[in-house]
Amino acid sequence: MSDPIFFASSTALSLGDIAGAAGISLPEGVDPGAMVGGASPLETAGPGDLAYMDNARYGDVLAQTKALACLVSPRFAAKVPPTTVALVTRDPYRVYAGLLARFHPEAMRPHSQFATEGVSPGAHVHPKARLEDGVIVDPGAVIGPGAEIGSGTVIGPNAVIGPNVRIGRDCSIGAGVTLAYALVGNRVILHPGARIGQDGFGFAMGPGGHLKVPQTGRVIVQDDVEIGANTTIDRGAGRDTVIGEGTKIDNLVQIAHNVVIGRHCVIVSGVGISGSTTLEDYVVLGGQVGVVGHLRIGMGSQIAGSSNVNRDVPPGSRWGGTPAKPVRTWFRELTALARLAEKSGRDTSEPPKD
């Protein structure tokens, strides 16, 4: 439930507006001028709220909701109570997300933490840095020589922007972010504590000690990328580390040097991607996936959470397990192991008795 202290609805929408935005028709007899003041979860929504539902687990909650209107997929429409307007759409969650952005536009990206306009007196901007009009810099931020930052971008408190870094327009650089040796596109969001452009982990190992290999590449972050809190992306050793357009990266992800991630990939928290691996477009990595270096994961592939990938993955694959393999093979192996344990007649949770 949104707290009005932090996210007060900035606008109300009529049911007609909502139906038009969603590309759906209102049920017969519904007043298109009825006003919706905000959006809330099913269980807390009141008579002026919009809710959504697209999961069978919440069928009972849907039946008891007090929302004015609810976005639902066709299979759940019959469960909507008569006091709630059923807005039937094939993708209720996506439609709800778009409408929520209209109710709470300020929640779409981080803004100044200090209600700053322009450069705060407590920020440190090198005289050779170039900031377009409309850049906001919060207290404690440091912007190095030769850095260039586009209009509409917000630099959060205590962020450090290194020399010659380029940041595009309408970006949000969160509190405590460090950016070095990086070129960042437009509308990029870096959440607090992200570390971008530090050394890759490269050493020439030998019996006399491990010789550090200078990391002379960059990090390229293309337009509309979002990178979660405390995620780390190392710069390339010679080639660049690249994060493709529209890719979304969760918190606490490690991306090593020379990794190339394609467009519109989704990488969930706890993932580790070793050096020189390539993810093609639209790849999805579940939470805590580990990927060995120098591999290629083909376009549109999906890897189940907690899997370990140690060989190339063909395009369009669904893999899981350790080591990762096609999910049907993985499931067959799990089923065979379960049957073997059952046949043994022994409770495997207890050690055998002498």
Concerning whether 257 is annotated as a catalytic residue, the answer is yes
Considering the candidates 104, 124, 210, 257, report the single residue annotated as catalytic: 257
Whole-number Å distance between alpha carbons of 246 and 128? 31
Q: What are phi and psi of 143, to 5 degrees?
A: -125, 120
Task: Give the contacts of 300 (CB within 8 A, at least 6 positions apart).
Answer: 280, 281, 282, 283, 315, 316
Residues recognised as catalytic: 257
